[in-house]
Every structure is written in C-alpha cells, then in structure tokens.
Amino acid sequence: MPMSGLLVVDKPLGWSSMAVVRKVRYMAGGVKTGHAGTLDPLATGVLLCCLGKATRVVPRLMGMTKVYEAEVDLSAFTATDDREGQREEVRVAAPVGEAKLREALGRFVGEITQKPPAFSAIKIGGRRAYKLARLGQKVEMVGRTVRVDAIELLGYAWPVARLRITCGKGTYIRSLARDLGVALGAGGHLASLRRTRIGGYDLSLAVDERRLQQPLTQADLLPVPAEGQDNF
C-alpha cells in the first residue's frame, strides 16, 4: 500500500517549506506530499508534512492552533518585517519599559485586524506579493481579521523582547512584530522565529534534517487525527 500519514519535521534554518516537502517526498519514494502551514526560510520548528491520502486533510489541519517563540527587535523596522530586510533605525528618547511593553502586548490578544507583510506569498492580482515587492512595486496589503489567543513575555532586555505566541490560522508574527513597534513608538521587526507546536504536534514528535537523509517508511508516519481532535 502507498505510504500515508503525517510527518512532523523540525524545519532547519534557511530551508523553505517547499524544500522540506521536496526532500520528504524524495525520501518517501515519490509519494504525494504537502504541508499544513508555511514557515519562512528564516523560521525554524514544526512543519507538519502530509503524505499520500493524508494530503486530503491539509485544509483542516491548517486550521489548527499554532504556538511560536519569537524574538522581536524594537530598535528598527525593515521592509520585510524580519532581519532579512535592510534596517530602518528608530531613535527613541529612552528604552521602552517592561510595563509599557506588557500593556501594548495586551492590545494584540483576541481578534485583531492585521496587514500581512508586503514580502509574503499572498496573491495580488494573481501575482505573489513578494515578487511585486522585489521588483520595487508598491504593494498595498489589505487588513484581515486574525485570532491571537495569548502572548507571553518570556524575557526582555532592550531592544529585544522574547515572546511566546499562541494563535490561529493566517496570523503573521512578522506583522505582529511590526505593529507592536508602531504601538510603542519604537521600531519593530522579527529577529528570530521558532514554531514549537501545531495542534497536538510539537517538537518532541519531530524529525530533524539528519533523519531526512535516509529513506522514510510507513513506520515513521503518524496517523491523521479524527475529525474534531486536531488540537488534542
């Protein structure tokens, strides 16, 4: 029988999500493979790959709750909203205090309106926004409603805040970093990002880059959760 099931991968730094999918597909003997939620190349962590018949449930799995650990640099903005873009330094009269930071973080919990980054895979007029942005074209992103369940401040030493963010589908942590900086009257971009969980799938279940150098078998795969048990 063709292989079918889920493989949790700890995506390496610098790999695109599709590069991981291509590697998994190759090591699984060419079986149809997809993923349930993109990570940027500069992000690491849980990438949920779906093989064989499990690709049918990708839309359902993409709706699962996600947990991220992020470092936000409040000293500058960038065009890409992460450390890949050129820095635009922001001068502040004094470093933002922790109390002010905590108060601002509270404003981003719940259902919020968020504009995706211009350098994103969202399509505008049939073309990817990041392709237009790389050509120097002005990209006007439309705000949309996303869900943020919780933001925990794990540590703070100006200008870097370490956050744990629990959120729903479609939330851009890069946009959150940018908007947090605006709210504080400072800068804001994503210095690092690691996804630690999608639904019930966390890093303890993940295989790393070294495992992907060897052929995969059915024994490596996890079953698809039953309907309604995606966040077990």
| Residues assigned a catalytic role | 40
Structure tokens at 108: 């981003």
> Which residues lie closer than 8 Å to 119 by C-beta, 6 or more apart?
79, 80, 81, 85, 129, 130, 133, 134
The closest of 215, 172, 230 to 48, measured between CA atoms, is: 230
* CA distance linking residue 43 with residue 29, whole number of Å: 27
The closest of 90, 83, 46 to 68, measured between CA atoms, is: 46
The closest of 166, 164, 188 to 176, measured between CA atoms, is: 188
Q: Which residues of 28-60 are buried (b: 16+ CB within 10 A; e: fewer)?
A: beebbbbbbbebbebbbbbbbbbbbebbebeee
Is 82 in a helix, a strand, or coil? strand
* CA distance linking residue 206 with residue 9, whole number of Å: 5
How many angstroms from the chain centroid is the CA of residue 194? 8
The amino acid sitting at 34 is G
